Structure 1
Amino acid sequence: MYLLGASGHGKVIAEIAESNALLIDGFIDTDLHKLSLLGYPVFHQIPREIIEVIIAIGNNKIRQKLVNNNANFKYSKLIHPNANVSSRALLGQGTVVMAGVAVNVDASIGDHCIINTNASVDHDCVIGDFVHISPNAALAGNVTVGEGTHIGIGAAVIQGIKIGKWCTIGAGAVIIRDIQDGSTVVGNPGRIINK
């Protein structure tokens, strides 16, 4: 398995792979100054053959672009052993679940998502592709989060809310109303500051 992106997020994902006893072949990164990370080699070109990859980059748009431009990638999903993921939850390919996360019954999480440290995704939530749920963010039951949206650290979303595609929910925001596509929301209660 290769990890695409040799920086802080990549280090966290490498440790999740290690904790699952998975073999890491190395990192792939375009920064020519990076030669190794956590004792693994950093390669600067993508191999031509089909390779197993986890995209270890936090930026949602970059993850989407890499998926769309690299047909020779085969994707795994990674779940930290200290995460609590319901056996009735669905997780898409390329998705990574960090330590301390809770994903409850009948939640559906799309492809290439990041469910970050200590985040909570409650029952019947539907999370689109390329979403990042930041550390300590909490989604109550029946929340829908559209493709590419970033839920900031410590944000809270009450039950039944629908958040559109490619939104940014600020750190600590409290979301009590539905949010339209492309919105940036901050505060308690959350208010839209940009569309």
Structure 2
Amino acid sequence: MLLYGAGGHAGVVAGIARDCGKIIKALFDDDLQKIAVAGTPVTGSYNTELFVNEPIVIAIGNNRIRRRISGQITHCFVSLIHPSALIDKTVTIGTGTVIVHGSIIQANSRIGNHVIVNTGATIDHDCEIADYVHIAPGAVLCGKVCIGESSLIGAGSCIAPNLVIGKNCIIGAGSIVTVNIPDSAVVRGNSSRVIRLNA
């Protein structure tokens, strides 16, 4: 398989690939100063003609960059799920998504394309996670939560049941969210206070 990205998140994704018995045949990054990730040499910039039959994962944590790059890829996307993740059989998972060590996804939840469910995150029943979302380490989504496209749910945050988080939101680390959040909001703290709206 192939990876696009050579930062810290790429090291995690490379480890998941290894634990799933995958061999990384090429690792692309636009930063030509990057040399290797988890012992795998960086091949260079993305090459549409290299290993054309191999699937690829975008191993970049930034939602907007991951979304932009996804439109430039001609290889087929594949998802990676670490063997330690606990995922109910009724869960649906889109393509290009990465489910990291120790995460839990409960019944009837739907996970979109190019989503990151990071280390130890918990997604309870009937949640809807749109494309390009990043659920950061240790975040907890209670039942029937909907997360809009390209939003970041910060590390250790908690989203109360039946809430809607809009598109392009940033929920700060450790936040406790108890109300619906509009598109492009930045939220921080245990009172779900909207700090600002992103441009």
Same fold (TM over 0.5): yes
Q: Residues of 2 paired with 1:139 and 1:8: CA distance? A: 24
Once the two structures are TM-superposed, the CA of residue 67 in structure 1 deviates from its matched residue by 0.9
Structure 1 position 98 matched with structure 2 position 100 = yes
Q: Deviations over 1:14-35 (max 9, x none)?
A: 0100101011113111222222
Once the two structures are TM-superposed, the CA of residue 8 in structure 1 deviates from its matched residue by 1.0
Aligned length: 194
Structure 1 position 57 matched with structure 2 position 60 = yes
Q: Which residue of 2 aligns with 1:13?
A: 13
Q: Deviations over 1:75-129 (max 9, x none)?
A: 1101111110111101110000011100001000000000000000000000000
Q: Which residue of 1 aligns with 2:129?
A: 127
Q: Which residue of 1 aligns with 2:39?
A: 39
Q: Residues of 2 paired with 1:40 and 1:100: CA distance? A: 24
1:140-155 aligned within 5 A: 140-155=142-157
Q: Deviations over 1:9-61 (max 9, x none)?
A: 00100010010101111311122222222221211122223342110100000
Once the two structures are TM-superposed, the CA of residue 183 in structure 1 deviates from its matched residue by 0.4
Deviates more, 1:100-109 or 1:31-40: 31-40
Q: Which amino acid aligns with 1:18?
A: R
> Which runs of 5 or more structure 2 residues have no equivalent in the other structure?
none
Q: Residues of 2 paired with 1:46 and 1:187: CA distance? A: 39
Provide the identity percentage.
40
Once the two structures are TM-superposed, the CA of residue 193 in structure 1 deviates from its matched residue by 0.7
Structure 1 runs (4+) deviating above 4 angstroms are none
Q: Calculate the aligned-residue CA RMSD, in Å.
A: 1.0
